[in-house]
Structures are given as C-alpha cells and as structure tokens.
Structure 1
C-alpha cells in the first residue's frame, strides 16, 4: 500500500511540476504548438515503453473513441491549458485546469446515474466556488469574468465531457495506457498543425526549447501516466486518486519562485477551495467515487 501511495503521489508531483517548464516553453513557442509537441512526443514515448515491455499497443476501443478523446482531452483541454499558461500564468492554469474532476462528478451523476456521497456533493460546491473566485474579475457587481480563465475552465469541461461520453465503453474494453498513448499522439499532431497554421512557427528551436519539450514529454506525460496506472494495479483507484489535489498546489507553489508568479490572495483562496473540493470529491475516507470520476484523473 505504501508503494502504491508513493507511485500515485509521484504521478501527481510530475503533473504538478510540469506547469513551470510549460511556461518556459511558451515564452518562445506558440501555446498550441508547445502543447502539441509535448503531447505528441509523450504519446510516442508511452507507446514505445509499452512496446519495450511487450504490452499491447491496441487501445481496445474503436477509432471513433480514440478520436473523440484526442479531441476533447488532448486538443481542447491541453490547448486551453497552454493558452492559459501563456496569457495568465502557470499558477492560474494549474488551479483551473484541474477542476476537470469536479465537472466529471457532476456529469457522471447527471448522465450516468453514478452515486455521489453527501460529502462529495459538498466538495463540488466548495471546489466550484473556489474556481469561481479565480475566474471572477473586477467588482462584485456587475460581474466581470476573466476571458482567459474561462478558456481554461472550458478546457476542463471538455475533458469531463470526453470522459463521461465514452466512460462505459472505455472502462469495459479499453487498455488505459495504450489508449492514453494514442490519444496523446493524435491530439498532439492536430495541435501542432493547428498551431502552425494559426499561430505560426516557434520563434526559436534551439537546445533549450527541445530540452523543454523532451522534459515535458517525459516528466509531464509519459512518466506520470505510467506511475498512475502502475499505482492502480496495487491499490484501489479511490486511494490513488485522492492525491489529485496535489497537482494545483504544486503548480502554484513552484511557479512562485521559478517564474516569479507571486500568488495573489484571490488565487490562493481559489486554490484552497478547489483543492478542498477535490479532496472531498476524490478522497478515500468518504466512500469510493464513481468509475467515470476515477477514469478522469489524468491531469495535465
């Protein structure tokens, strides 16, 4: 059990620390191209790892399912997250992108009929209130919302819709690691092509930028996916997923000294709300969350 905890927490740490090098990369690379390069290479590395381990490379689901997940969980989610990093900072993106599990919980209860415990409903209110604090901009009335923050939240909603629509089929037939590799690879290609057409080529492509892409592909994508699913083989999914709240905390706190993004009181308050909500929804002490919710815990 301790090994599973270490593996699960390690995956969350990897996802959390990836926000800083992502911010460094978008200094010279357009956000969509940066997101696509990270995902595409990450998918290739994950599939390569499976091949070396003689694990199946077939995702276990149809091309349509792979395409749907690539569109919602790779193109829309990562495109929005990197857009947020480029235009509002890594800290804000880390908090809002990781609200995806909250939206999955709402949709799983409404669409799939999955049961949520009362404390999980309370966690939804706390977490969404925290997100609202971050998104809110300007006076109390009339309401003014940050457009960039809404883009990031929209990406989190896209992730949740992608999860819920195919949840039953994926959990019954899919090979999670192979599916993750193919959807990242497909989504990465689409993001790169869209970014090059819309935003133009990167300003620089030297050793620094290529090193950041490789680091993000390994530390931010391939390694945490492998650690997360290895942890799932050793412990119940709810226990592994309970560490999900670490991702925004690490993202915000690492962006402070490394990027000079001193968190505002508003961002800290929102982070506390989102993290508390995630712990209440995903936590291990209040019963196990629904399967669609567990399936969603593959953050940026």
Structure 2
C-alpha cells in the first residue's frame, strides 16, 4: 500500500471520527435541524466551487428523482437523526451504533437485491443488536435506558444504509465523486426547510460552535468521500470498508481529548460487541468471495 493511499485512509477515518464529538459541540448552540442544515449547506457550497472548477456535468433528468431520494436518505436523514440522537447519546456510543451501517446494508441487500446473507450474517446481526442494546443503557446516569437517543442514531444508520445499497448503479454511471456531489446537493435541498430561525441561532451561537459547524461542513462532510474514492480506486472497496471499522475507536479517543467525554464501561462493552457482530458478518462475506 502506497503512502498516498495510507494518507487517504487516515484522513477519512480521522475526519469521520471527529464528526461525532464535533456534533456534540455544535449542539451546544444549535438545534439538530439547524446544525444539519448548516453543515450540508457549507459542504454544498464548497462542492459547487469544486464542480465549476472541474466542469462537472449535471446528472441526466431521468436519474434526478432517484438522486433526490438517495440524497434525502443518505444525507438529510442521516445527519438530522444522528444530531438528534447525540443530544442524549455520547459521541463514542453513537459512533459504535453507526458502525452497524455495513451490517444493515447487507440485510437490506438480502431483502431487496436478493444477495446471500448466510448463518454467519444472521449471527453477526444478532450479536451487533445485543451490543446496541447494551449501549442503550447509560450507566453513568444511574443505569437509565437511553433507547430513544439510540433509536434516532439507528434511524440515521438505516438511512445511510439504504443510500449505500441503492447507489451502486449510479456510482458506475457517474463515478464516485460526481454522484456523491449530486446527493449532497439533494440532501441540502431538503434541509432548506430548516432555514427559519437559523439567522437568530447563528447570532446567539458561541464562537466555538460556529467554528465547529464550519469544520463539520468543510471537512467531515466532504473530504472523506474524496479520500475514500481515491483509496478505493487504488486498493478496492473491501479494504476501504474494513479500515473504517477503526472509526469508533478513534471517535472515543478524540471525544475524550476534545470534549472530555469518558465512555462508560457498559458503552465500551456494547461497542466491542457491536464491532464483533459486524466483523463476524464481514469476515464471512470476504471468505466466501475467495
């Protein structure tokens, strides 16, 4: 693996991991809808500049409805429900729940695309679900069940999973970077319903929250997709997917350093169980490919 590919992986994992504590910081001044809208709007603006600079073509008219739906699920739903969930769920715990996305994608592919799943896939699903159940308990607050917050994060993961499952034909047709750009724009379009009240929220927000929102829009929302696109073109998709399992681990470390968030033992245990379940299904799938 070349140095450039390693740097691409490192950039994607680090930036995506940093998004979880960054959302917690942004929520100190913004409502989840405003935070998600601003994040996507900033990212979309940067992508407009990039698209003009590279003379990127617009998608065909017949594909635009599907792109709108996928943008809504993969970006509007994902960012909004993740932000709502992180109002009550710690950044580290949320990152573990989101790590079920490859597994949820495999389940969806089983039902909608008729792909095989197998005994190990189901065993991994049950294992990961048990890990999510453990994360649902916030032992730091008297063993209270935080099921609603975890459910919101799971909805975010579901939206992203549907996006990943149904994007394959469009990736082949348009390429990873143009298609991702189209769907980010589409997701931003749906979020514009949250514009009312945003100006007042920006005026009252702390400087830390404002800078964090800028960071979220310019970095975790945009750059990792380009980095993974480059790495995938050099190494293939399976290596990129497996490397992203490091994201929750790094998210916990960054959350501890940045916002002083110390994960509970129960959340850590649940996270390990989630990763074990996801890995069980993923490793078996890779084994069957060989």
Normalising to structure 2: TM-score of the pair? 0.84
1:157-205 CA-partner distances (Å, limit 9, x unpaired)? 12223333x345324423322222232233234335336469x844624
1:237 aligns with 237
- 1:204-283 to 2 correspondence within 5 Å? 204-205=204-205, 207-282=207-282
2:55 paired with 1:66: no
1:22 aligns with 23
Closer/same/farther in 2, CA of residues 72 and 145 from structure 1, 3 Å limit: same
Matched pairs, number: 283
Closer/same/farther in 2, CA of residues 219 and 33 from structure 1, 3 Å limit: same
Q: 2:43, 2:284 → 1: CA distance?
A: 30
Closer/same/farther in 2, CA of residues 207 and 189 from structure 1, 3 Å limit: farther
Deviates more, 1:183-192 or 1:245-254: 183-192
**Which SS does the other structure have where 2:87 is aligned?**
helix
Q: 2:17, 2:283 → 1: CA distance?
A: 18
More helix by share: 2
Structure 2 unaligned blocks of 5 or more: none
Closer/same/farther in 2, CA of residues 126 and 21 from structure 1, 3 Å limit: same
1:238-287 CA-partner distances (Å, limit 9, x unpaired)? 01111121122222222123222221112101111222333344459934
2:128 aligns with 127
**Which SS does the other structure have where 1:88 is aligned?**
coil
Pairwise CA RMSD = 3.0
Q: 2:55, 2:237 → 1: CA distance?
A: 21
User: Would you say the 8 A contact 1:28–1:204 is kept in 2?
Assistant: yes
Q: 1:249, 1:237 → 2: CA distance?
A: 21
Normalising to structure 1: TM-score of the pair? 0.81
1:38 aligns with 39
